[in-house]
Amino acid sequence: MKRLTSIFIGVVLGLTSLLRAAEEINEATSASGIWKWTFTMPDGSKVEPRAKLHQEGDTLTGTAKIREGLESAISDGRVISNEVSFAVIRERDGHKVTTIYKGLRTNNHIKGTIESDWNGTTQTYVWEARRFSKDPTGTWAWQLPNRRGRTNEFKLTLIQQTNELTGIITFFGNDIEIEEGKVKNGEISFSVPQEVNEDIITWNYKGKVISDTIKGRVELIGGERDRLIEWTAHRTD
């Protein structure tokens, strides 16, 4: 029985390791991930489009959006060595607009061109995209259960500077600066002190950035509220 239990535990641990490995992106060989770039519109305004890409073999699938509410599936996605290409087809004033992205990927950067016929003739623009990778900089949102069986909503804005992490967390209608923020190789940690009925409750966050998701745990310390909660946050910017 002990031997069977040991084998079972070993299998579970092995599967857990495989699942974690599957979540990781080999950034040296894969174009998978969320990519973001800046584009200047004809009227001079700037937008920050993004593409969520998934590479399987030499095939690239995913979605792209130029701004909120304008998300489209990509087509003709291909990866040949480090050359990335895909197309996005949208409707504009009743006409089909085709935009073709082509570039050379070097780790977390793509440099290339954008070709679009949005005004009836094909025009070419410079394309420089960056993969979010393990950088936690940005805005995140999540929900956590409370003791009343309900959920509380949280929002967090982070800025990474080398191995330091600063930011503002918003919950219960309050904006609070995070403390002791650290980041290294995608692993982040920070604490949030909160005064509740003259007690200080400390929320200790620890997690790992995987593209547009942070997965980890939150430890609540103080008063009678000590507990450990699973934590999953999603990028919203």
Domain locations in the chain as residue ranges? 33-131, 138-235
CA 174, 179, 180: angle at the middle one, nearest 5? 160
Structure tokens at 220: 């609540």
pLDDT tens sequence across 46-105: 888 999 999 999 999 999 988 777 789 999 999 999 999 999 998 877 788 899 999 999
**Mean pLDDT in the chain?**
85
Three-state secondary-structure class, residue 24: coil
Residues, the chain, total? Answer: 237
Q: What is the pTM of this model?
A: 0.62
Task: Give the whole-angstrom CA distance, residue 42 versus residue 119.
Answer: 10
pLDDT tens sequence across 107-145: 889 999 999 987 778 899 999 999 887 889 889 999 988
Is residue 114 a contact partner of residue 101, using CB atoms and an 8 Å limit?
yes
CATH 1.20.120 fits 33-131, yes or no: no
The pLDDT, as a whole number, for residue 224 is 67
**CATH entry, 138-235, from 2.40.128.120, 2.130.10.10, 3.60.20.10, 3.40.630.40:** 2.40.128.120
Pairing, β 179-184 against β 83-92: unpaired
Structure tokens at 79: 């990866």
Domains 33-131 and 138-235 in one fold: yes
